[in-house]
Amino acid sequence: MPSKLSSAHATFASLAAEYSSDALLVTDHEDRVLWLNAGFERMTGFTLDDLVGRRPDEVLKGPDTNADEFAKIKEALRLRRPVDIEVIYYRKDGKEFWMESRIVPIFDADGKHTHYMSSSRDISARKELERITENALEREQERQKERKQLSETSEWLYSARSIEELLQVVEQSLKTMIPEAGGQLFLYSNSRNILDLAAQWGETSDTKQLEATDCWALRRGRAYSFGAQDIEFKCDHVEHDHGNAPYFCLPITAHGQTIGLLHLNFWDQPNLKGADASSEYHAFFKRRWDIALLCAEQISLAVANVRLRQELEDQSVRDPLTNLWNRRWLLEAAHKELSRYRSEGVPLSIVSIDVDHFKKFNDHHGHDAGDLVLRAIGSKMREMFTGSLSPCRIGGEEFIVLAANTTLEAAQELTEDFRRAMAHLTVRYAGAALPAITVSAGVTTMTDGQQQVIDLLKIADRALYQAKQMGRNKVCTHDDLDPESLPNPLAQKRTTTRASMSQFSKPLRN
């Protein structure tokens, strides 16, 4: 009976080895091939004749075979222990595939090690699925990271209080979100015929200005991608030193009007085009293109938001009639300059200007003519008081020039030039020239005796009054005043800074 069972077992074992889908391999105690089944031959393409007497790794391994896995096998064989591996092998035709194997040592009845046996299966399909899944997870993680970065970028962009701050956010954000690209942001100049370089980052060109006709995106009125299309033309503003390296040009728009251009280049990326471009190349640029479009949209909205905010802030500190700074701006700016005087010793002067006989002029010619004169005065002040000199209208026919970083002598000279210019200014109303307009002015400068801006304003006001008393159309300084008439600094400390500018008005100036 036992003999029949042994014969049956041998038959079943032979059948299992022949028809098993797994690859079976038997080697001697030195790991040289002795036998393999049909499954191994189907899986690898190698026959017993190809492998007999040889070690499996001599035949199956290739350039992408993991060296760490082979070290793991050698260590298990040395210790005569079972080992499980997943490794890339190569078929007889040179094609690679993934094999999962379990190698176990075989011992005889006396415990002597005689053979090794491995059972293997092709897991290439599973590995490909794992690769696809892993790539999908990586892409999803990347998209989540990009969405988070875009959200953070939007928050920073909309928090910018000025174009300068906004440009810093744009530069830092795009370096983070699209690190492979160098970039430039151009904004239209006031003339609307030239775009000036506003910001740049990474490796980029030396272009500082460009015309709208230099860029296909601006000419076509929509975003343009160069480097991944069958039909495309290079923009004139892109340097030719980099051949056909890909780049993006994206118009920046606000309220339906193009206000700038975002240019991103990928000089460090493979220069592939059309049918020669790999799927990875297209996928890479598709993702970057989508991000760039979103960034351009956010930048457009942010620029429009900053400009609107600046316009509203500017309106709040501008006199609507003359477009000069108003009293609110003057008080804030004067206190800042006073701090500079105290900390750095920077000169600070004040010029108080009043139109001579303006009430009589208004009564005779009407308020429309008077407004026309005030606008002409404002225009002349903007023309002549520039740089660190800031002209302001504080009400009616009363003007102040905040002369930062200006000595008394320089402020007096500039005011004299302005007085003479006003005396020769011709203003026409209803087709006729209006009578000549003259102005009187008082000039003073900050000294250690004054403690507050209010001191300076009062002294300039007294000097102006002195000019009126001397016949008008004159400029006086605090040197022309009686020292006894100047404000007492100790008494002035008791004067509240909450006093409005109307406290310094001059009822007898006309």
Give me the active site residues, please. 397
Alpha-carbon dihedral angle through residues 354, 358, 362, 364, given to the nearest 10 degrees: -160
Which residues 6+ apart lie within 8 Å of 333 measured at CB?
325, 390, 402
Residue 252: CB atoms within 10 A of its CB come to 24
Q: Which helix (H) or strand (E) holds 120?
A: strand 113-122
The angle, 0 to 180 degrees and rounded to 10, between the axes of the packed helices 367-384 and 408-423 is 140
Please identify which residue in the block is written with the tokens 């004299």. Answer: 416
Give SS3 for 367: helix
| 3-state secondary structure labels for all residues of 471-498 | CCCCEEEHHHCCHHHCCCHHHHCCCCCC
Question: Which letter does DSSP use for residue 361 in this model?
Answer: H
Which residues 6+ apart lie within 8 Å of 283 measured at CB?
none
Q: What is the CA radius of gyration of the chain?
A: 43
Please identify which residue in the block is written with the tokens 């102006």. Answer: 464
Order the strands of the 96-107 sheet from edge to edge: 33-36, 23-28, 113-122, 96-107, 83-90
* CA–CA dist 205, 267 (Å, integer): 11
Pick from 391, 361, 375, 475: nearest CA to 425: 375
Which stretches does DSSP call E strand in 255-365? Answer: 257-265, 348-355
Which stretches does DSSP call E strand in 405-462? Answer: 428-429, 432-433, 439-445
* CA–CA dist 87, 65 (Å, integer): 6
